[in-house]
Amino acid sequence: MRLENKKALITGALRGIGKTIADLFIAEGAEVWGLDYKTPEDLSDRVAAAKGKLHWVELDLSKIAEIDGVIEGVVKEADGFDIVVNNAGITKDNLSFRMSLEEWQKVIDINLTAAFFVSRTVARDMIRKRKGSIINMASVIGIHGNGGQANYAASKAGLIGVTKSIANEVASRGVRVNAIAPGYIDTDMTAVLPDEVKNKMIDVIPMKRMGVQKDVANAVLFFASDESSYITGQVLPIDGGMFF
């Protein structure tokens, strides 16, 4: 029980890595507020299985103007969070010279701007309580770039910059901010890639496999727990050695 008596807000908790993080946190004793743009069909089953440890927040993070108000309300309802995981993210891939403003803006809004507004709103309360851990889901693409993903790369590179900047602002108040940079992980986001692309990627990964969602969730758990209490402003790649 590495998160006993901790309260966590996790964005993008409907499916994929966010759901796996939520399940792991609950199993480790945390009370979790899962946030997503829609409510899962099996919410009542999930809430029942979590035995009172799962609450749900419906918010479309592309509606930036709504974020402050909703998150302030959730912080009040929870009486503050010990952990926040900015996990929600999307891709809208296209070659740069074909990319529309909509494809650019939506990815920046959800992956970067929303994470910034959620972070600073929860951090206000964390600073008052002089404790807290914020974990941002970046990507190896935010460090290395990728053809066809200029919008996504910019959003994740920006998120790394936000991580280090806020970490610097709040470190002396007992609040830590770190980022995770997953490589190629088996989720709905990567399921849409053609087999040819998938095989090419696995070929360049020294560990010769895609990551599983638990590989990422375990690292998030480390940053969320007190085991990482002297670590802040860092970016941890989880990529099977893809970029070492």
Enumerate the active-site residues: 152
Residue 232 near ligand NAD by CB under 6 A: no
Residue 221 binds to ligand NAD (criterion: CB under 6 A): no
Q: Which of residues 190-209 bind ligand NAD (CB under 6 A)?
A: 190
Among 6, 78, 83, 89, binds ligand NAD (CB under 6 A): 89
Burial 83-106 (b: 16+ CB within 10 A, else e): bbbbbbbbbbbeeeeebeeebbeb
Nearer to ligand NAD, 172 or 191 (CB): 191
Sole window of 71-79, 127-135, 162-170, 187-195 interacting with ligand NAD (rule: CB under 6 A): 187-195
How does strand 54-58 pair with strand 83-86?
unpaired
Q: Rule CB under 6 A: is residue 132 a binding residue for ligand NAD?
A: no
| Paired strand residues for 178 | 135
Selected binder of ligand NAD within 21, 32, 71, 88 (CB under 6 A): 88
Residue 7's DSSP bridge partners are 31
Question: Which residue number, 60 or 72, has a Cβ lying nearer to ligand NAD?
Answer: 60
Task: Name the token pair of 178.
Answer: 């770190």
Q: Which of 61, 78, 107, 170 binds ligand NAD (CB under 6 A)?
A: 61
Among 75, 87, 119, 132, binds ligand NAD (CB under 6 A): 87
For residue 55, list its beta bridge partners. Answer: 33
Q: Considering the rule CB under 6 A, would residue 149 count as an interface residue with ligand NAD?
A: no
Closest by CA position to 211, among listed 155, 154, 139: 139
The identity of residue 112, as a single letter, is L
Nearer to ligand NAD, 30 or 88 (CB): 88
Measured distance CA(223)–CA(163) in Å, rounded:
13
Alpha-carbon distances, residue 128 vs 77, 155, 173, 175 (angstroms)? 16, 29, 8, 10
Size of the site for ligand NAD (CB under 6 A): 25
Rounded to whole angstroms, the Cα distance separating 31 from 51 reads 10
Out of 3, 6, 7, 12, the residue judged to bind ligand NAD by CB under 6 A: 12
φ and ψ at residue 137, rounded to 5 degrees? -90, 95
Contact 118, 86 (CB under 8 A): yes
Nearer to ligand NAD, 12 or 132 (CB): 12
Q: How far is the CB of 91 from ligand NAD (least distance, A)?
A: 7
Q: Binding ligand NAD by CB under 6 A: which of 3, 8, 9, 18?
A: 18
Residues of the shown chain interacting with ligand NAD in the complex, contacts defined by CB under 6 A: 12, 14-18, 36-37, 60-62, 87-90, 110, 137, 139, 182, 184-185, 187-190
